[in-house]
Amino acid sequence: MSPEPERPPRPARVSRRGFIGRTTAASLGAGALPRPDQATAAAAAAAAAGAPGQPLPGPPGTEVTLRVNGAEHRVGVDNRATLLDTLRERLRITGPKKGCDRGQCGACTVHIDGRTALSCLTLAVAAHEREVTTVEGLADGDVPHPVQRAFIKADAFQCGFCTPGQIMSAVALVEHGPVGSDDAIREFMSGNLCRCAAYPHIVRAVRQAGSTGRKR
Amino acid sequence: MRGFEWTEPDTITGALDAAGGQAAFLAGGTTLIDLMKLQVMRPSRVVGINRLPLTGIRVDAKGLHIGALTRMSDVAEHPEVAHAYPVIAQALLLSASQQLRNMASMGGNLLQRTRCTYFRDIAEPCDKRDPGSGCAAVGGFNRAHAVLGTSPHCSATHASDVAVALVALGATVDLRDASGTRTVDLDSFYRLPGGTPHIENALRPGELITRISVPRLPWARNSAYLKIRDRQSYEFALASAAVALQVRGRRIEDARVAVGGVATVPWRLPGVEAALRGRPPGLRTFEHATADAADGARPLTHNAFKIPLLRRTLVRALMSLEP
Ligand SMILES: Cc1cc2nc3c(=O)[nH]c(=O)nc-3n(C[C@H](O)[C@H](O)[C@H](O)COP(=O)(O)OP(=O)(O)OC[C@H]3O[C@@H](n4cnc5c(N)ncnc54)[C@H](O)[C@@H]3O)c2cc1C
Ligand code: FES
Ligand code: FES
């Protein structure tokens, strides 16, 4: 997992080929509005590739319907766009976080058709017409979900970057419960890493939410 | 990631028509999307197969049948699988994380690519990714690499856990293309790297795995999967063992044994199985029968520890079964 969120990992050894490959991937992979740093990287990559100022050929895209937290969104996406980038950059649903972008940290966890899934390894085109729930969709109006309340009560976070993903996993466990022993909680939640190591409080929050009833 | 065309057909024939050439099937995407981001895999067309009618688990007189698109978590939590083939359920529950098991399909699991860091890094030479470029693991960091079934061109492990359990149980896979369906032993499906590490299995371009079948084996109820890793959860195996024993009156009638994390393909050990037959179950028998389990092992600079580890893993797994 990268120590700094929201930034592509730096290659350990930078070769020219590796640099071009990686920066192109970073700047184009999102299929979304490039951020300024990425635009610069893309220009650098284009210049290095000997094509200064040449517009890149339009990548293949698809119109998809995304059902997120009960609302339907019709969006045209680059086929390469992940569900994570599409949620964050296009729909401005920024609860799911980009920790590693490699399926390793769980910060991007959402529910797809009622089960936890990693939005960084899901293509937006593959989420067409499926039910997506993010942390924004858990509360009942102004009333937070019991798992959200338990996280606050148990002080189950420090920086909070992993928290939306932790909560989505915890909700799946609590709602399909029983949550089981602390070891069972740790095992179920092992796909959600926490750089701040708030694990003991996270386990406590899940245990509390599990014992105070599953539903809202 | 490189640009690609996207299609998501509803029928198997539609998927087979769309496949071939530079196309790739997409199931859970937990291998494919990861490797496309790294530019290790670069399909020009991606064919989504999640709408195909290839999900489901069925147990009949012949054994267990699993549709290739059934998710790992559904198989792991299936009561009949857990009861009749604990080694399969355990191998799955010890794989990846809940999120990944919810996404990942059984067919995709069998076809997952190695986690060798040099294979995953396009700036490094790798004969599996880029035939003829060499192997950075020789002389590199190779602690996690294989000791069995290696060649000078490749020592990358096959990382699937459930494939080890399935190979031990003599599973088969149904493969389908435009010319029809063929059934192949999973054990012979996987190819040793030799001089062609980029050829990993018997799948033809554009061919679909449609089903995995495990023969009926009532004594597989006495089976287990043990996975040894650097942390307690959510990690690939350094060594793993899938074992099943048929014991009658303090005598081993039959045995199934395979290991993972130590070999370039899921590694069945028929010699160990033969050495177990006819003996009384127990530590002495298990130590004796596994003495040559790592025969032919070729360690690299950092992974010689896997040779004793593999044997200890086997003995501990066998000790966990009913005597
Ligand atoms: C962080 C992490 C940890 C992991 N830990 C483990 C672990 O501990 N143990 C373990 O066993 N695995 C582990 N995995 C690997 C994971 O189990 C595989 O990635 C997954 O099973 C692949 O299935 P999928 O459906 O997502 O495949 P996809 O990514 O969709 O496909 C994989 C490959 O198979 C092809 N394909 C898929 N389905 C078919 C089909 N039916 N017919 C023909 N071709 C097909 C695709 O074209 C692609 O080439 C881990 C993965 C990650 C990211
Ligand atoms: S961003 Fe780390 S798992 Fe998706
Ligand atoms: S990563 Fe900071 S609270 Fe988990």
State pLDDT tens for residues A68-87.
999 999 999 999 999 999 99
Residue A186 sits at the chain B interface (C-beta within 8 Å): yes
Inside any domain, residue A34: no
Q: What is the predicted pLDDT for the residue at A53?
A: 53
- CATH number of the domain bearing residue A207: 1.10.150.120
Residue A103 CA to ligand 3 centre (angstroms): 17
CA-closest candidate to residue B90, choices A20, A69, A187, A122:
A187
Structure pTM?
0.90
Ligand 3: which atom is nearest the Cα of residue A196? 2
Q: Where are the domains of chain B?
A: 5-50, 218-319
**Which residue does chain B place closest to A30, by CA atoms?**
B1
Q: Is A27 contained in some domain?
A: no
Answer whether residue A177 is part of any domain: yes
Query: Any CB–CB contact under 8 A between A138 and chain B?
Result: no
Q: How far is the CA of A85 from the centre of ligand 3 (A)?
A: 21
Query: Which residue among A102, A122, A161, A195 has the greatest number of ligand 2 atoms within 8 angstroms of its CB, and so is best to mutate?
Result: A102
Q: Is B104 in the pocket of ligand 1 (CB under 6 A)?
A: yes
CB contact under 8 A, B97 and A190: yes
Q: Specify whether A203 is located in the same domain as A152.
A: yes
Mean pLDDT of B24-36: 98
B219-to-B84, B169, B244, B248 alpha-carbon distances in Å: 8, 11, 8, 10
Main-chain dihedrals φ then ψ at residue B197, nearest 5 degrees = -65, -15
Contact B123 A190 (CB under 8 A): no
Assess if residue A162 is contained within a domain.
yes
Residue that finishes a domain, picked among A137, A162, A180: A137
CB neighbourhood size of B247 (10 A)? 18
SS3 helix, strand, coil % of chain B, rounded to 5? Answer: 25, 25, 50
pLDDT bucket at B97, cuts 50 / 70 / 90: very high
Instruction: Kindly give the residue spans of alpha helices, DSSP state H, lying in A7-69.
Output: 16-28, 36-48
Asked whether the beta carbons of B156 and B114 are under 8 A apart, the reply is: yes
Q: Is the pLDDT of residue A57 over 60?
A: no
- pLDDT-based confidence at residue A32 (cuts at 50, 70, 90): very low
**ipTM of the assembly?**
0.96
Same domain, A112 and A144: no
E strand spans, B56-119 = 57-60, 63-67
**Closest ligand by atom to B55 CA:** 1
The set of protein residues with a Cβ atom below 6 angstroms from ligand 2 is A 98-101, 103-108, 118, 120
- Nearest by CB to A126, which of B39, B48, B99? B48
Q: Which of A49-53, B132-136, B160-164 has the lowest mean pLDDT?
A: A49-53
pLDDT at residue B125 is higher than 50? yes
Whether the per-residue pLDDT at B129 is higher than 70: the answer is yes
Determine whether the interchain pair B6/A116 forms a contact, defined as Cβ–Cβ distance below 8 Å. Answer: no
CATH topology of domain B218-319: Enolase-like; domain 1 (3.30.390)
Atom 1 of ligand 1, residue of closest alpha carbon: A104
What distance in Å separates the CA atoms of residue A198 and residue A157, rounded to the nearest whole number? 6
Which chain A residue shows the shortest CA-CA distance from B28?
A122
Bridge partner list, A63: A76
Ligand found nearest the CA of A2? 2
Element containing residue B102 per DSSP (H, E): helix B98-103
Instruction: Reply yes or no on whether the pLDDT at A194 is more than 60.
Output: yes
Q: In the predicted model, what is the mean pLDDT of chain B?
A: 97
CB contact under 8 A, A126 and B26: yes
pLDDT band at B20 (very low <50, low <70, confident <90, very high): confident
Q: Among B37, B48, B99, select the one facing A116 at the smallest CB separation.
A: B99
B180/B204 Cα distance (integer angstroms): 12
- In this structure, the strands spanning B45-48 and B23-26 are parallel
CA B138 – CA B153 distance, rounded (Å): 9
pLDDT in the model for residue B9: 97
pLDDT average, residue stretch B119-143:
97
Which of A116, A126, A186 has its CB closest to that of B102?
A116
In chain A, which residues have their Cβ closer than 8 Å to the Cβ of B96? Answer: 191
If one counts the domains in chain A, the total is 2
Strands (E) in B49-130, as ranges, are: 57-60, 63-67
Q: Does A185 touch chain B (CB under 8 A)?
A: no
- Any bridge partners for residue A72, and if so which? A67
Query: Domain span at residue A109?
Result: 62-137
Give the Å distance between the CA of A154 and the centre of ligand 3. 14
- Each residue's pLDDT tens digit, A84-137: 999 999 999 999 999 999 999 999 999 999 999 999 999 999 999 999 999 999
Query: Into which CATH architecture does domain B5-50 fall?
Result: 2-Layer Sandwich (3.30)
CA neighbours within 13 Å on the CB side: how many for A155? Answer: 1
What is residue B288's predicted lDDT score, i.e. its pLDDT?
A: 98
A167 plus A181 within the same structural domain: yes
- Tell me which of B119 and A7 has the higher pLDDT: B119
